[in-house]
């Protein structure tokens, strides 16, 4: 049983997945951030791989990625940083990013290196279903990596079922069709959330985009197994010289 599956076996309500950008706020702060998240209550870590053209990311996460790239973060540097990280981090960790840099690195080499350091799964929003089914899914399974697909309010019922069937780990429900960090009226999406609730899904469901505080986390968790927070946490890191203390304060505000 993989770490993500094990997590949902132990805890299937109010699972908190926190997004952070590798190499932000400083090149070598990746593990420090991950350790602070684990120690202060994050159930899962979504580690963003910075990219110059991140289609789904809002201004805050884009800016953090640009800083990380200027700091010198690359996929090779990231895997070097992550070597041996499982001695410290026991929380499930996914890599989130885009196909272009992964393809430049080499898809199978990327999966091999991710698995060898102890990564649990991937989120690549621009990997199409057809390519997944006919080429890349086989490689992901070869290296034991979970793969998470995203659904939106515009995704048809048949497609939701298909994406759920193909996903492993969990299914990512985007709260609205916009980039991360935009103010979302979550109650306005209640019909969409209820629709997802009524479908018999194979995977646990996490809601992302617009989750930023205790109220929005609790609301999203009322329809799903938990939620994903990114932009609000990146903002907390932007203003700090003490990663551990700022992470503690941020997570206490959501979980306590």
Q: Which is the catalytic residue, given 6, 32, 43, 46?
A: 46
Place of tokens 């109220």: 215
Residues 6+ apart with CB under 8 A from 190: 223
Q: Is it the case that residue 172 has pLDDT exceeding 70?
A: yes
Asked, for residue 22, whether it belongs to a domain, the answer is yes
Decide if 145 is inside a domain.
Answer: yes
Told to judge if 46 belongs to the known catalytic residues of this protein, a careful annotator would answer yes
pLDDT of 168 above 60: yes
Q: What is the pLDDT of residue 245?
A: 97
Whether 8 is covered by a domain: the verdict is: no
From the list 6, 39, 53, 57, the catalytic residue is 57
pLDDT digits (tens, 9 = 90+) for 29-40: 999 999 999 999
> Is 25 inside a domain boundary?
yes
Clarify whether 165 is annotated catalytic. Answer: no
Strands (E), 34-182: 44-48, 93-96, 121-123, 146-147, 150-151, 171-174
Query: Residue 9 domain-assigned?
Result: no
- Is the pLDDT reported for residue 188 higher than 90? no
Total domains in the chain come to 1
Comparing CA positions, the residue from 189, 220, 216 lying closest to residue 206 is 220
pTM for this predicted structure: 0.94
CB atoms within 10 A of CB 252: 12
Copy the structure tokens of residue 52: 């110059």
Report, as an integer, the average pLDDT of 46-56. Answer: 86
Structural domain contains residue 4 = no
Residues 6+ apart with CB under 8 A from 148: 94, 121, 122, 123, 167, 168, 169, 170, 171, 172
Expressed as residue numbers, the domain containing 237 is: 14-255
Residue 157 lies in a domain: yes
30 in a structural domain: yes
First to last CA, the chain: 30
CATH code of the domain containing 238: 3.20.20.70
């Amino acid at each position: 049983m993989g770490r993500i599956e094990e997590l949902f076996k132990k805890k299937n309500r109010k699972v908190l997945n926190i997004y952070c950008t590798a190499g932000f706020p400083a090149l070598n702060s990746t593990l420090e951030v991950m350790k602070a998240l684990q120690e202060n209550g994050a159930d899962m870590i979504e580690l963003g791989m910075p990219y110059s053209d991140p289609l789904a990311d809002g201004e805050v996460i884009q800016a953090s990625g640009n800083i990380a790239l200027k700091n010198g973060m690359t996929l090779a540097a990231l895997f070097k940083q992550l070597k041996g990280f499982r001695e410290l981090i026991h929380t499930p960790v996914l890599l989130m990013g885009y196909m272009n840099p992964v393809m430049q690195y080499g898809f199978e080499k990327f999966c091999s290196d991710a698995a060898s350091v102890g990564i649990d799964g991937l989120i690549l929003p621009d990997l199409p279903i057809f390519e997944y089914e006919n080429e890349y899914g086989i490689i992901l399974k070869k290296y034991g990596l979970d793969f998470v697909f995203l659904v939106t309010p515009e995704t048809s019922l048949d497609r939701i079922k298909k994406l759920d069937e193909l996903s492993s780990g969990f299914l990512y429900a985007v709260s609205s069709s916009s980039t991360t960090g935009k103010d979302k009226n979550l109650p306005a999406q209640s019909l969409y959330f209820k629709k997802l609730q009524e479908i018999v899904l194979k995977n646990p469901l996490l809601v992302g985009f617009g989750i930023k505080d205790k109220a929005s986390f609790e609301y999203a968790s009322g329809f799903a197994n938990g939620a994903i927070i990114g932009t609000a946490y990146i903002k907390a890191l932007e203003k700090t010289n003490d990663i551990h203390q700022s992470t503690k304060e941020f997570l206490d505000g959501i979980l306590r």
